[in-house]
Amino acid sequence: MRVLICPDAASAARRTADLLCEHVARRPHAVLGLATGGTMEPVYEILRERIAEGSLDLSSVTTFNLDEYVGLAGDHPQSYRATMERLLFEAAGIGPDRARLPDGAAADPAAEADAYDAAISEAGGIDLQLLGIGSNGHIGFNEPTSSLGSRTRIKTLTRETRDANARFFDEGEEAPRFSITMGIATVLEARSCLLLATGEGKAPAVAAAIEGPLSAACPASALQLHPSATMILDPDAARDLKLRDYYEMVHPAGGEAPL
């Protein structure tokens, strides 16, 4: 696992965007796994800027988002489909045939989840998966105690997750209770994973993911099994890491290893 501790949250977002852009420059037809959440918004802002200035072309990529709320159709403003349209797909010119999310309004959400997992395989698998982390250690909507062998499926959200996401919904509107999320095993099949975490609210979950036991109690710890996982952190999110000096020696300021 590569642990990159960047000087601040802005440079962590930039580092994430840089790694994604380098990947797409090498593989213009890459299959990208995308994530929503407040942490990712600065990353998408950077990508939109690069698209506008002509230094990034995402028009040939295929994308699969991690998750979607059950019960929200794609035209609901808080659906992850609508959120991704606003944050990236419109600017990138990626149509719905290649910008994929589970359909939260599917009549049979379980069948939709199975079909989504199959669609990822049919596309050749995910080359690069972006991930956030919940303060409870979730990745996607794989809440604590999710099976480390789980596939894309329906998952009930914890109270903590619903409360954290309530800020995106109008007052009086209930945050959804269920999601369709890629499973942990689905995520681990991506050829590389990039997890971005900023802010001290994430510090305990980040430490558990990187240095804690491999455990369904912290779903992000499953990344310890991945041969190519990179954790990109700001100093606040890195606060509780015991081996912080080591990570900073290997990757000064979150940069490449000085070999």
If binding is defined by CB under 6 A, does position 37 make contact with ligand PGA? yes
Sign, Cα dihedral of 208, 37, 232, 186: positive
* Residue sitting closest to ligand PGA (CB): 37
The pair phi, psi for residue 100, each rounded to 5°, is -100, 140
* Residues contacting residue 246 through CB under 8 Å, at least 6 positions apart: none
User: What is the smallest separation between the CB atom of 236 and ligand PGA, expressed in angstroms?
Assistant: 13
CA–chain centroid gap for 48, Å, is 17
Largest CA distance in the chain: 55
* Residues contacting residue 179 through CB under 8 Å, at least 6 positions apart: 67, 68, 69, 70, 141, 154, 155, 157
Q: How far apart are CA 102 and CA 112, in angstroms?
A: 7
If binding is defined by CB under 6 A, does position 96 make contact with ligand PGA? no
**Given the complex with ligand PGA, which of 30 and 40 has the nearer CB atom?**
40
Q: Which stretch binds ligand PGA (CB under 6 A): 15-23, 131-139, 222-230, 240-248?
A: 131-139
Residue 65 bears catalytic tag: no
If binding is defined by CB under 6 A, does position 10 make contact with ligand PGA? no
User: Which position among 68, 103, 112, 143 bears the catalytic label?
Assistant: 143
Residue 86: its H or E element: none
Q: How far apart are CA 174 and CA 159, in angstroms?
A: 12
Among 20, 30, 31, 39, binds ligand PGA (CB under 6 A): 39
If binding is defined by CB under 6 A, does position 181 make contact with ligand PGA? no
User: What is the smallest separation between the CB atom of 231 and ligand PGA, expressed in angstroms?
Assistant: 13
Residues between 197 and 216 with contacts to ligand PGA, criterion CB under 6 A: none
Residue 67 bears catalytic tag: yes
Residue 143 bears catalytic tag: yes
Residue 76 bears catalytic tag: no
If binding is defined by CB under 6 A, does position 176 make contact with ligand PGA? no
Sign, Cα dihedral of 100, 103, 104, 105: positive
**Given the complex with ligand PGA, which of 154 and 250 has the nearer CB atom?**
154
User: What is the smallest separation between the CB atom of 137 and ligand PGA, expressed in angstroms?
Assistant: 10
Question: DSSP string of 163-180?
Answer: HHHGGGSPTTPPPPSEEE
**Given the complex with ligand PGA, which of 62 and 83 has the nearer CB atom?**
83
If binding is defined by CB under 6 A, does position 42 make contact with ligand PGA? no
Give the residues lining the site for ligand PGA (CB under 6 A): 37-39, 132-134, 138
Q: Which residues are catalytic?
A: 67, 136, 138, 143
